[in-house]
A and B are shown apart, each in its own frame.
Chain A
């Protein structure tokens, strides 16, 4: 599950070339389209362009997909398309916040540990080892149950689980970067460590962190959905993809769309994020001149 790459530094082509090469590869393009479609739906739901996901219409309960209800309706006559997109918006925002926290905290800790070594390295590694000693989903479950449930605490629980991955991803290359001549030169020139880290070390590990962010987003979406399936996600009545699948378990025999719709949205989003991560990794890898 922990994918790491050995790239250091953006290739000469620069950032614009990176986007072009990522989208130019087959997996990157397919991934971008899948993620784009789900994000568009989520945005439409957030901006209120779709029917109210909570509005009940008992007369139209469990009606099959049609022009009026693209993904049909559920046991309360609520529009499944509106619920799925609102659920996607919730999943995505929790995953984004979780990964943002994990990336910032994990990268900062990993860079500090790798650059300063000594006690800061030992204590960061100690905490990392403890967090790695839990199966990820179990840790998220235990943490989520420890807090009063709001969407933010769910995000924080997921963030704690994924922070050690960023520590590991950032620390490794920093260990070799600190010995590199151009970094050592900054010490001789009298730069403060903070300036060295911000201007010379961070830009060099940015590509690996970016790839890790994409891959972690897909795991975070899965973790959030699993938590809400187990009843430990953000509290109802807010629509959530995992909770929708849970409710659909007793409905699926009479209304297959109640499970198929949220399921398809989750799979599209996670497949898309995985493909995008693969495309990004290939585009950043200098060994692949053109990507695949």
Chain B
């Protein structure tokens, strides 16, 4: 082993994983029925003479052996050439640069909602285990785990449009700089849907962590000193339970990126998830290939970041 240092090894591991991700994405998109020629010409591709077809295949590089195609694609990606959309003529890099910040914004908003909802439900539950309160908190957790985002989103959109006459997502999506107030309203409902799903695992983790911390000596000491119940819960118990809560939240980032596909579709939010789905529907190979790669890259980097953060926060991780 060259890399003895755990940190360096973790980074090398991430690079190797990314290479594997690139291979998988490449193979998946080669497996799609049809190819770039049929995708760009549609049914007219059937009218091509064999010579015309061969010329087009050479143009797209489809006559090269697969490893060569992979390497040239990888080299292009590494230099920021993510290909372009055949329909709009826009480069995928530009499209991604516009869409990714919206999805990240949605993710952050959902995280805040999920954390507030999940931790509040957990504190309610853990404050009196096996009571009606506990059952209510746990029911929220179970609902978050079991109600799919597409159902909650569709129902929420229909209900608020019907009974409140409120549907900001019916309007054209507003950029943050153009109309910040409308922009925020348009992101709110999708963020509530994602946040609700996120609250469930956070609630479950937080509840058991809080119950464990509550039984520790320092909490008993604080209670003995006469610390009030509210201050005890917020200043003594909650901080002690933060590490598992933060870990669980980090682990859920993948759920957010996957769920973004669903809620962005329902609420017409032009984020990265919608870009993938549109690419799949319109058979835009370059768009799907590069966007999936960008999402996986984001996910790997977030995981790496969380890992490194722990080495900073928790000395025990650093030692191992």
Contact = CB atoms under 8 A, between A and B. Distances in A.
A149 to B, nearest CB: 10
B46 interface: no
Contacts of A1: 201, 251-252, 255
Interface in A131-173: 131, 133-138, 141-143, 145-148
A136 B261 contact: no
A135 B295 contact: yes
A270 B201 CA distance: 15
Interface stretch (B80-88, B145-153, B181-189): B145-153
B20 A218 contact: no
Choose among A133, A146, A232, A270 the residue with the greatest number of B CB atoms under 10 Å from its CB.
A133
Given A229-B150, A245-B150, A275-B142, A143 B28 contact: yes
B21 A134 contact: yes
Contact of B299 (A135, A249, A252, A275): A135
Contact of A226 (B25, B142, B201, B262): B262
Nearest to A143: B28
Contacts of A238: none
Contacts of B258: 135-138, 141
B227 interface: no
B162 A253 contact: yes
A131 B21 CA distance: 8
A142 B142 contact: no
A2 to B, nearest CB: 8
B28 A146 contact: yes
A138 B31 contact: no
A225 B150 contact: yes
A57 to B, nearest CB: 25
A263 interface: yes
Contact of B254 (A126, A135, A259): A135
Contacts of A271: 142-143, 146
Contact of A134 (B23, B265, B299): B299
B18 interface: yes
Interface string B283-320: 00000100010011001100100000000000000000
Nearest to B248: A1
A146 to B, nearest CB: 4
Chain B interface size, as a band, is: 35 or more
A40 interface: no
A226 B277 CA distance: 13
Given A138-B258, A141-B280, A267 B265 contact: no
Nearest to B298: A135
Nearest to A140: B258
Given A218-B146, A222-B148, A271-B146, A230 B20 contact: no
Interface in B3-31: 13, 16-18, 20-21, 23-25, 28-29, 31
B8 to A, nearest CB: 17
Nearest to A251: B158
B275 to A, nearest CB: 12
Interface string A251-274: 011000001000100110011001
A222 B258 CA distance: 12
A142 B290 CA distance: 12
A146 B32 contact: yes
A242 B265 CA distance: 14
Given A267-B146, A267-B151, A133 B296 contact: yes
A248 interface: yes
Contacts of B31: 146-147
A267 B147 contact: yes
Contacts of A246: 150, 154
Contacts of A229: 148, 150, 262
A259 B146 CA distance: 16
Contacts of A248: 154
Nearest to A215: B145
Contacts of B154: 245-246, 248-249, 252, 259
Interface in B255-273: 255-259, 261-262, 265, 273
Contacts of A146: 28-29, 31-32
Contact of B145 (A135, A226, A231, A274): A274
Interface pairs A-B: 3 shortest CB-CB: A137-B258, A130-B20, A135-B258
19 contacts: A126-B17, A129-B13, A133-B17, A133-B21, A134-B292, A134-B299, A135-B296, A136-B255, A138-B258, A141-B277, A146-B31, A230-B262, A245-B150, A249-B158, A259-B151, A259-B158, A263-B151, A267-B151, A270-B147
Interface of B: 13, 16-18, 20-21, 23-25, 28-29, 31-33, 142-143, 145-151, 154-155, 157-158, 161-162, 201, 251-252, 254-259, 261-262, 265, 273, 276-277, 280-281, 288, 292, 295-296, 299-300, 303
Given A130-B21, A252-B154, A259-B155, 14 more contacts: A1-B251, A2-B251, A126-B16, A134-B21, A135-B254, A135-B299, A138-B258, A146-B29, A226-B148, A226-B150, A230-B261, A249-B157, A253-B161, A270-B146
